[in-house]
A and B are shown apart, each in its own frame.
Chain A
Amino acid sequence: MPNLKDLKNRIASVKSTRKITKAMQMVAAAKLRRAQDAAEAARPYTERFNAVLGQLAASVGSSDSAPRLLSGTGSDKVQLLVVMTAERGLCGGFNSSIVKKAKTDITRLLAEGKTVKVLTVGKKGREQLRRDFAELLIGHVDLSAVKRLGYADAQGVARDVLGRFDAGEFDVATIYFARFENVVSQVPTAQQIIPAKFETEEGAETTLYDYEPDEEAILSDLLPRGVATQIFAALLENGASEQGARMSAMDNATRNAGEMIDKLTIEFNRSRQAVITNELIEIISGAEAL
């Protein structure tokens, strides 16, 4: 049985751990609200953008002159996976669930004989992927210096991806991120961004627009922005998911620390009583011996 001093120290250390996790939980809660607001604020743009782009894409269709960002390169041999994770840990299974999904897909694609390239956004995903697929990593975007995620950050990632596409480095690009459902559930999601895919609503009322300049010029102007917009939306979702995951992870940690403190306190009191009983026995038997 550990002595009283040890127990006292352990209780003190678990108590300070609980203080830290409690503080982290509250910080995550505050950040989560901000991240959710940001994701909410970005929604009108994304929705509008996709609606217009979808309409344009439908009207240009798959004609030969359609931009390659829309029609693709005609092959799916080389796949680019953009894996977006957090820059920091201590957020439960958030990073590993995204990485796990990406890993499953990498293994599947490799088995199909495709060439896989991986671009990582966020330090944690990179660390985890480096263990198994170090030779597939072609680049990394560091967002650790970014305090508040802005559209410019997404543009940076998009420029990187588009530059590689123009250089013919890959045929299909997919982004991996966690979609924010609610605080306890974040769903790892894969979304294809190049060639662009649109959900065309059947039977939706379509207005016939005039285009200025012509449809294809607009489309080739908008598609690269579409990539940036999708990446931005994904990064925002990811940000909210990260904070949500961290909040619930820290909530659990705080609760566990509380349970541990209770258990240790009971043990401490027991041993203290045992020590007192022992001392009493010694005193009484000493007195009787006299």
Chain B
Amino acid sequence: MADTMQFDLVSPERRLASVKATEVRIPAAEGDMTAMPSHAPVITTLRPGILRIISAEGTDEYAVTGGFAEISGEATSVLAEEALHVSDVTQEVLDAFVEKAAEALRSAKENGDHNLVDDAAKLMADMVAMGDHIGLTAKQPQA
């Protein structure tokens, strides 16, 4: 069994990371999952959260806001809508994310679509949780 796999993190604008990883923790839509070499092929969507890549060089973390991941035995690719290295996530960035989510929640409430309200509420909770993980406290927005 190979002990590393090719890992790529790409956003629409650029390729953020391309390394040989031993383990990748992915914030998948239905719960966190860890991809390791020889994982069964899976395609999953992402929720906002922290993507952790563990390779021989150490551990690296990225904040992603959504997208999807393609996992196969030899390679894992994460196609993130927006991805930032954790060190680039500042209070302002987080506030902007949370504000955007809160905005979506407000407009969903106005439309009265319960599914959308639930989705948006979840999105916002994910964003706030992401901030907690990084050690930033999201300003409680007016939802």
The residues of A with any CB-CB pair to B shorter than 8 Å are 38, 41-42, 44-46, 48-49, 52, 56, 150-151, 154, 207-213, 217-218, 221-222, 225, 228-229, 232
Contacts and interface: CB of A to CB of B under 8 A. Distances in A.
A52 B70 contact: yes
Contacts of A44: 8, 10, 15
B14 A41 contact: yes
Contacts of A209: 41-43, 70, 72
B12 interface: yes
A218 B42 CA distance: 12
Main secondary structure of the interface of A (DSSP, over half): helix
Contacts of A46: 12
Given A41-B13, A52-B68, A212-B44, 16 more contacts: A42-B13, A44-B10, A45-B11, A45-B12, A48-B8, A48-B10, A52-B70, A151-B11, A151-B13, A207-B41, A209-B70, A212-B29, A212-B30, A212-B42, A213-B30, A222-B45
Contacts of A213: 29-30, 44-45
A283 B56 CA distance: 95
- For the residues of B in contact with A, the DSSP-based class is strand
Nearest to A225: B81
A218 B41 contact: no
Nearest to B42: A210
Interface residues of B, number: 24
Given A212-B42, A222-B68, A49 B13 contact: no
Which of A38, A42, A45, A154 has the largest count of B CB atoms less than 10 A from its CB?
Answer: A45
B43 A41 contact: no
A260 B42 CA distance: 66
A28 to B, nearest CB: 22
Contacts, number: 75
Given A212-B28, A213-B30, A218-B68, A38 B41 contact: no
6 contacts: A208-B41, A209-B41, A210-B43, A212-B29, A212-B30, A213-B30
B24 interface: no
Nearest to B77: A48
Interface of B: 8, 10-15, 28-30, 40-45, 67-68, 70, 72, 77, 79, 81-82
**The 10 residue pairs across chains A and B that have the minimum distance between CB atoms:** A151-B12, A41-B14, A212-B44, A209-B41, A45-B10, A210-B42, A209-B43, A207-B41, A44-B10, A45-B12
A134 B14 CA distance: 38
A212 B47 CA distance: 12
A284 to B, nearest CB: 78
A232 B70 contact: no
A232 B40 CA distance: 32
A56 B12 contact: no
Give the most central of B10, B12, B13, B44: most A CB within 10 Å: B12
B78 to A, nearest CB: 10
A52 B12 contact: no
A46 B77 CA distance: 13
A154 B13 CA distance: 11
B41 A210 contact: yes
A250 B72 CA distance: 49
Nearest to A221: B45
B43 A52 contact: yes
Given A44-B8, A52-B70, A211 B13 contact: no
B30 A48 contact: no
